[in-house]
Amino acid sequence: MPRYYFSVTNGRPFNDTDGLELPDLTAVREEALGFAQDLIRMEPERRDWSSWVVRVTDDAQTCVLDLPFLEAV
């Protein structure tokens, strides 16, 4: 099963070094969406998520998904 890395950027990157094994890009998108929603719930006082993005890469460090946090709000 492929491994994907879920990093967050808000003008500067916070990189995932562990990754998760997931079966396909549908599962990758669901995980990224849940990840963004969890961070939003953990910081309810933050009002501007417009510059935040979950960037998902594969083992070759190729970007497979950029999910703006605004899609999770």
Q: Is the pLDDT reported for residue 11 higher than 80?
A: no
Average per-residue pLDDT for the chain: 93
| Host domain of residue 32 | 3-71
Give pairs for 58-63: CB < 8 Å, separation 24+.
58/2, 58/3, 58/4, 58/5, 59/2, 59/3, 59/19
User: Rounded to the nearest 5°, which phi and psi values hold at 35?
Assistant: -60, -50
Q: DSSP letter at 18?
A: S
How does pLDDT run across 18-46, given as a tens digit for each residue? 999 999 999 999 999 999 999 899 988 87
Q: What is the count of structural domains for the chain?
A: 1
**Amino acid, res. 41:** R
